[in-house]
Amino acid sequence: MANILFVVWRESVEALLVIGILYAWLRTSGLHEGMKYLWGGVAAGLALAAALAGAMMALESVLPEGSIEYFQLAMVLIASGLIVQMVFWMRMHGRTLKKELEGEMSEAAEKANWWGLLVVVMLAVAREGSEAVVFLYGLGLGTGNAGQTALAAGLGLALAFLTFWLLQQGGKIFSWKLFFRVTEIMLLLLAASMLINGVERMIGLDWIPGLVDPLWNTSALLDDSTRFGGVVGALTGYRAQPALTMVLVYVAFWVAVIYALKRVKPKLAPAKPAAAVTDAVAQSGR
């Protein structure tokens, strides 16, 4: 359940970051009228994520028995791809996220378009929530013990609030930069693990050859069938007895990701709005 705890923790921190930025902006701008739309957007975003979770579970329940495995395989591969996409998106937008959100808020407030503000918040929260739903499904959320899953999710959420509070202390303990760098690595390891899970399933379905299976056996050092080995395997993609195809895919994944990350250019922060515009926005809420 460590992977579930990690996913809930990471996604919750990102959602709290978005909410925290918008909440602080409304307070400092004196736009108290927008608070109800902020929390309405949060509720709507969570409702959309919950609706996606319900739709996925409902779809699984109506699929023919032989098709469920294919559906789960597709979700594992989609979740892996989404994690990689999220890492690259944060690498590009992380520096400007605050200004981008505040810019959208300023535009909505200036036009007195509070419903537009609600939509901005709803989409931001729904994005994080829907990603969490897909990731958790890809991790096999419905196949484990419900009590353990709920406990892991609850601990992840509690840890997210604690992490957010620590990060708000102005880098006295650790910084946002360090947080995103460490969790970026952990997310990529998780994406690689999901990809290997998908490849393993495809080999089992005889869709692709294993080539040499197994290529080696390191069970004496770390057996992935044990509790600890299983956690390591779930978080990193480690297999004690991998097929050659799995090793080739794993190596290709990291070569491609590292090459692409080196080519990513973070967005430059937009210019600060003119003081007159800022004052006009502040006055509109008074």
Q: What pLDDT, on a 0 to 100 scale, did the predictor assign at position 267? A: 61
Amino acid 140: pLDDT: 62
Euclidean distance between CA atoms 264 and 281, whole angstroms: 34
Closest to 22 in 3D by CA, of 123, 84, 104: 104
Q: Is the pLDDT of residue 113 over 70?
A: no
What integer is the mean pLDDT of 210-239? 88
User: Among 70-79, 124-133, 143-152, 158-167, which is the least confidently predicted range?
Assistant: 143-152
Query: Is the pLDDT confidence value at 122 over 70?
Result: yes
Quote the percentage of the chain above a pLDDT of 70: 80
Triad 214, 212, 216: Cα angle to 5°: 35
End-to-end CA distance of the chain: 49
The pLDDT value recorded for residue 112 is: 60
What is residue 108's predicted lDDT score, i.e. its pLDDT? 64
**Cβ atoms 89, 267 nearer than 8 A:** no
Q: Write the DSSP symbol of residue 32.
A: G
- pLDDT of 101 over the 80 cut: no
**How would residue 235 be classed by pLDDT, with cut points 50, 70 and 90?**
confident
Asked whether the predicted pLDDT for residue 286 surpasses 60, the reply is no
Integer Cα distance of 196 and 139 in angstroms: 12
Q: In sequence order, which residues have a C-beta less than 8 Å from that of residue 144 and are 6 or more positions away?
A: 1, 4
The overall average pLDDT reported for the chain is: 78
pLDDT band at 159 (very low <50, low <70, confident <90, very high): confident
Rounded Cα–Cα distance for residues 283 and 83 (Å): 41
Q: Is 227 exposed, middle or buried (0-12, 13-18, 19+ CB in 10 A)?
A: exposed
pLDDT of residue 269: 53
Q: Is the pTM of this model over 0.95?
A: no
The CA distance from 88 to 90, in Å, is 5
Asked whether residue 114 carries a pLDDT value surpassing 90, the answer given is: no
| Section 94-108 average pLDDT | 69
Q: What is the DSSP letter of 243?
A: -
- Which of the 8 DSSP states describes residue 268? P
What interhelical angle do 176-204 and 227-236 show, nearest 10?
Answer: 100
Asked if residue 115 lies in contact with residue 127, where contact means CB atoms within 8 angstroms, the answer is: no
Q: Could you give the C-alpha distances from 264 to 157, 182, 231, 258, in angstroms and in order?
A: 30, 18, 31, 10
User: In the chain, where are the structural domains located?
Assistant: 2-284
Per-residue model confidence as pLDDT tens digits over 245-281: 999 999 999 999 999 988 877 665 554 444 433 343 3
Task: Write down the pLDDT at residue 273.
Answer: 46
Model confidence at 133: pLDDT above 90: no
